[in-house]
Amino acid sequence: MPASLNDLHLADVPLALAVLLDPKAALPAGLPPPLLPDQLGILHALAAWSAYAPGLQSVQQRLSALPSGALDADVPGPTAGELDRRHDTLVRGLSALRQGYAHLAPWLPTTAAQAEAGLSALDMAPGLTRTPYLDESSHAASRTQSVVAHAPALSAVAVGDGQTLLTLVQEWLTAAAALGQRVAADALADAAVGSRAAAFALRTEAVGLLGDLRAAVEAAERYGTAPKGLATLAFAVADALATRRHVAKSAAAKAPSTSALPA
């Protein structure tokens, strides 16, 4: 999936706004150049700009009024919601495997018995995926020793691609541990700069306005009321910032996980 404006972090938003609003905006090295003054003048003369500029200016002013450090309040890495989805997917998958092996017990008695012995140790109640994040994390942590005890049974059941049930269970423990760590990191960040809800609401508002403005400028290009390529030039900086975040996030997601099982 390619990068989009939604990949922008909170700290990126002021710069993404500045290059559109301020002809003298200074850019860090490594980013595309801003619009030339005449290009910026063409953008500001569009009806679309008149429609969205007040909202963008309002967001810019409210961002500048945030407490010191609030713009750096993004915690790197996947969000708690993203980690929770990974955790819940593994819970559902492991629960389905347990049921599947139980149905196949008449044909695969040894494998079914090993799967049941190992997966029952996880104590995955049907409502586990609907509990608070910290409860999900603490539940997995409480099952770690049981997983260790049942590791031989879990590792005896192959699930394809050279992996076993133990591999998947380790992924579940790791996902749950990462979720707990993310919640703790978010809490520390909130304590450092106050509640980040207002700051992130501004980020959401800004990304929405930027996306709407871009669509309107692209429409003006199609109808011949704006020069071709204006939207690409106007959003080059925002796109570069979003791509950086997207690449870093993708790399983090592909990084090998560290097992949450004790050595």
DSSP string, 7-76: G--GGGHHHHHHHHH-TT----TTSPP---HHHHHHHHHSHHHHHHHHHHHHHHHHHHTSPTTGGG-PPS
Q: Are residues 138 and 237 in the same domain?
A: no
Q: How far apart are CA 25 and CA 29, in angstroms?
A: 13
Name the residue range of residue 57's domain. Answer: 5-73+196-254
Q: Is the pLDDT of residue 213 over 90?
A: yes
Handedness of CA 225, 230, 232, 237 (dihedral sign): negative
pLDDT in tens, 233-250: 999 999 999 998 878 777
Indicate the number of domains in the chain.
2
Q: Are residues 62 and 92 in the same domain?
A: no
Q: Is the pLDDT of residue 2 over 80?
A: no
Q: Are residues 181 and 86 in the same domain?
A: yes
Q: Is the pLDDT of residue 251 over 90?
A: no
Rank 21-25, 165-169, 250-254 by mean pLDDT and report only the highest: 165-169
pLDDT in tens, 200-210: 788 889 999 99
Q: Is the pLDDT of residue 263 over 50?
A: no
Q: Are residues 109 and 145 in the same domain?
A: yes
The model's pTM = 0.59
Q: Are residues 117 and 179 in the same domain?
A: yes
pLDDT in tens, 35-67: 888 999 999 999 999 999 999 999 999 888 877
Tokens of 33: 């150049």
Average model confidence (pLDDT) for the chain? 85
Q: Are residues 174 and 92 in the same domain?
A: yes
Look at residue 131 and tell me if it is in a domain: yes
Look at residue 58 and tell me if it is in a domain: yes
pLDDT at 54: 95
Q: Are residues 178 and 218 in the same domain?
A: no
pLDDT in tens, 126-181: 777 788 888 889 989 998 998 899 898 889 888 888 889 999 999 999 999 989 98
Look at residue 261 and tell me if it is in a domain: no
Q: How far apart are CA 253 and CA 259, in angstroms?
A: 15
Tokens of 83: 């980690």
Look at residue 262 and tell me if it is in a domain: no
Q: Is the pLDDT of residue 73 over 50?
A: yes
